[in-house]
A and B are shown apart, each in its own frame.
Chain A
Amino acid sequence: MSDGQQKKTFVVTRFDPDRDEAPRKQSYEIPVQPDWKVLDALNFIKDEVDGTLSYRWSCRMAVCGSCGMMVNGEPRLTCKEALSQYGDTVDVGPLANFPVVRDLVIEADGFMEKLTSVKPWIIRAKERAVEEGPMRQSPAEHEEFKQFSLCINCMLCYSACPVVANEPEFLGPAAIAVGHRYSIDSRDEGAAERNEVFRGEGGVFSCSFANECSEVCPKNVDPAAAVNQAKFNAVIDWATGLVLPRGGDE
Chain B
Amino acid sequence: MKHLLLKLEPLIWLLFGQGILLGTVLLTGWVLVVGLAIPLGIVPADALSYERAQMLGSHIIGRVILLGLIVLPLWKGAHHMRHIFLDFGGAKRDVLVAPLLYLLAASGSVLAVVAIVRI
Give A144 Cβ to nearest chain B Cβ, in Å. 21
Residue of B nearest to A210 (CB): B87
Q: Mark B81-113, 1 if CB is under 8 A from A, else 0.
A: 001001101010000000000000000000000
Is the pair B87, A166 in contact by a Cβ cutoff of 8 Å? yes
Interface class of chain A by DSSP: helix
B6 adjacent to chain A (CB < 8 Å): yes
Report the number of A-B residue pairs with Cβ-Cβ less than 8 Å.
Answer: 31
Give A180 Cβ to nearest chain B Cβ, in Å. 16
List the one stretch of A132-140, A151-159, A171-179, A234-242 in contact with chain B: A234-242
Which of B13, B14, B87 makes the CB contact (< 8 A) with A162? Answer: B87
B10 adjacent to chain A (CB < 8 Å): yes
Interface class of chain B by DSSP: helix
Which of B6, B13, B86 makes the CB contact (< 8 A) with A235? Answer: B13
Q: Which residues of B contact A (CB under 8 A)?
A: 2, 6, 9-11, 13-14, 83, 86-87, 89, 91
Q: Which residues of A contact B (CB under 8 A)?
A: 162-163, 166-167, 199-201, 205, 208, 210, 231, 234-235, 238-239
Given known contacts A208-B87, A239-B14, what 13 new A-B pairs fall within 8 Å (CB)? Answer: A163-B87, A166-B87, A166-B91, A167-B86, A199-B9, A200-B6, A201-B6, A205-B13, A208-B83, A210-B87, A231-B13, A235-B10, A238-B11
